[in-house]
Structure formats: structure tokens, C-alpha cells
Amino acid sequence: MSRARSMFRYRCEDVLLAATMACVCRLPAALVLAGTRCLARLAAIVLPGRRRHARELVLQRLGPGCNGRRADQIVAGAFRTLGLNTVEPMLVERALRRGVPDAEIVTVEGAEHLQAALDAGHGVFICGAHFGAWELGPLLVGRLFAPMWVVARRLDNPFLESRLLAHRQQFTRGSVPKDGGAAQLVRILRAGEAVGILLDQNAGRGGVIMDFLGAPSSHHRVVGVMARRFGAAALPSYLLREPGTLRFRLIFEAPITARPDLPPEEAERDVVARISASLAARVRAHPEQYLWLHDRWRHAVRAERLARAAAAGDSRAPVAQVTNDA
């Protein structure tokens, strides 16, 4: 019975998504974007706990220069960013099909960095985050340069997963599962190809603890491992929203490679730290385009609390499990 209920819910979600896509593809872009912003404001109202927690994170991580009013604006921007990422890819695809020139939608900075990384022939990680128009990135990169692979978590809903894969296949080379995709990543890098990956989520017990925006957090280290073992380049990349309707700026920063003069583990950490520093600088510059609704610091905070309790001799405190495994 439980499985039957789940399948019914999954089917309903699929029908709802199909209906939403049909509406988005027919309504004027300005109207869709305005409606999405209204829904984002409504979501912030009906989810007060999530809003308050995001506000606390903003005030803690951005420091004294961010007052309460500015924090509220940033959190509103986070809700808006999440909503816009659901509709922007469909609207941009429609605009491109209608013949709108690429240059009217996106400007590119640092294309030479991507080309240099690809020319090196060791594979490229295009390292993004839940920042700006992240869902639109693979479409524009594939259109302007060459289709890339994307690392993605498999959805629980099989109907949505099938729909997403079929759609993604139109402008990427394919998907690499977030869990269990290491062998496929190695093959991609050895072929000298590019793979997009979002690296800003909490890595939990499998991550490495280091600073992000002034506080410890658990970082994914797969890019550092691959950079050190296979010579892959890590290319920080961001797709920022610009003023106007469906206007974006695609940025590629200089490639980050593993330093051969460092011991293996330090070389891997150095790559991860430089990617994290790049994202932190972008978030400080455009905090309203970052997804503050995700708390990437929670594992590190809990691990430090348990470690302090254990050091103080609290026998009731469990041992914190923080590893450096990829």
C-alpha cells in the first residue's frame, strides 16, 4: 500500500510539472518571471522557520556590515533565486528557439580560461554552486562552447527522473550519478572532457572540514582528489543574473590545478580551499543570488560541539565522525 501511495504521488507530481511547463511555455516571459517572484515572496511568508534560519546564517556569515534590513533583502533574494531557477531554463530555451541571439541573453567573461583548460587535455571540472542561475548553466555552456557532462543526484520520483534525463540529454553529454559515479568521472577526465559539478552543499561525514565565509563547513573533496590524481583542472564558474528580462553573465575564472610541490592530501585540500575561496568572494559580492536556504555549516558545527564535549570529559557525548574520505 505504501508503494502504491508513493507511485500515485509521483504520478501526480509528474502531471503537475507537465502542466506547469505547458503554462510557462505559452505565457509571456515577463509575466512568468513576475508570477515566480510573487510565489517566492509567498513561500517566504508561509515558511517562517526556514526564513528565520536563513536570516541567522546571513547575519552570522556576512558579518557586521550586514544589518537586519539587508539580511531580510538577501533572504528574500534567496527565495527568489530558488524560484527563478525552476522557470528560467524553459524561458531561455523558448527564446532561443524563436531566434533571439545568444548575445541578447548572455555575455561571457573568461572564455579563454575554459579553452586553456580543455586544451591541456586532462579533463575539466566546471565548478559551480547553488548561486545565480545554476540550472541554466549547462544549457548555455553547451550552446556556446561544447556539451558537458553533469554530476547530479538521482531523483526519488522515477517519472521526473526520466523526464529530466531526456531533457538534459538535449544539451549535455549525459549525467554522472552523485553517488557511485567515480569510475565514470575517471573515464570522462581521461578523455579530456568537461563535467559540471555543484560543490557548495554540506558534504557531511565524507567531507573535509575547512572555512567557508568565516566558519567551518564540510566540503566535498572529489575535485581535489581528481585534480591531484589525474591532473584535471578545476574551473570556478558562475552564471549571474543581470538587470533586465532574461539577461545573464557567464563567468569562467582561471583554472585551478593541484600543486605538485605539496604532499598528496595537502594538494587536494589546497584545490578545495581555492575553489571555496572563489565562491565565498562571489557570494559576498552578490549575496542575494546565493541559496542561503541550505545550511552547509550544520555538520561542522555539530562535529565541533561533540568534539568539545568529548574533550571536556562528557562521557555522554558521542564521538564526532569527521573523515577526509572522498
- Over residues 68-97, the pLDDT tens digits come to 999 999 999 999 999 999 999 999 999 999
Helix/strand/coil for 237: strand
- Give the mean model confidence (pLDDT) for residues 274-279: 98
- Alpha-carbon distance 128 to 130, whole Å? 7
- Give the mean model confidence (pLDDT) for residues 172-180: 89
Is the confidence at residue 210, as pLDDT, over 90? yes
| Lowest-confidence segment of 85-89, 152-156, 211-215 by average pLDDT | 152-156
- Give the mean model confidence (pLDDT) for residues 158-172: 82
* pLDDT at res. 322: 39
**Above pLDDT 90, what percent of the chain?**
73
Is the confidence at residue 173, as pLDDT, over 70? yes
- Alpha-carbon distance 239 to 233, whole Å? 19
- Read off the pLDDT band of 315 (50, 70, 90): low
- Give the mean model confidence (pLDDT) for residues 299-322: 67
- Over residues 2-20, the pLDDT tens digits come to 777 788 888 888 888 788 8
3-state helix, strand, coil in the chain (%, to 5): 55, 15, 30
Is the confidence at residue 316, as pLDDT, over 70? no
The mean of the pLDDT values for the chain is 90
**Above pLDDT 70, what percent of the chain?**
96
Is the confidence at residue 291, as pLDDT, over 70? yes
* pLDDT at res. 21: 79
* pLDDT at res. 314: 62
* pLDDT at res. 1: 47
Cβ(120)–Cβ(223) below 8 Å: no
- Give the mean model confidence (pLDDT) for residues 41-48: 96
Is the confidence at residue 303, as pLDDT, over 70? yes
- Give the mean model confidence (pLDDT) for residues 168-174: 87
* pLDDT at res. 20: 80
- Over residues 241-272, the pLDDT tens digits come to 999 999 999 999 999 999 999 999 999 999 99
- Read off the pLDDT band of 154 (50, 70, 90): confident
pTM: 0.88
* pLDDT at res. 106: 98
Is the confidence at residue 320, as pLDDT, over 70? no
- Give the mean model confidence (pLDDT) for residues 304-311: 77
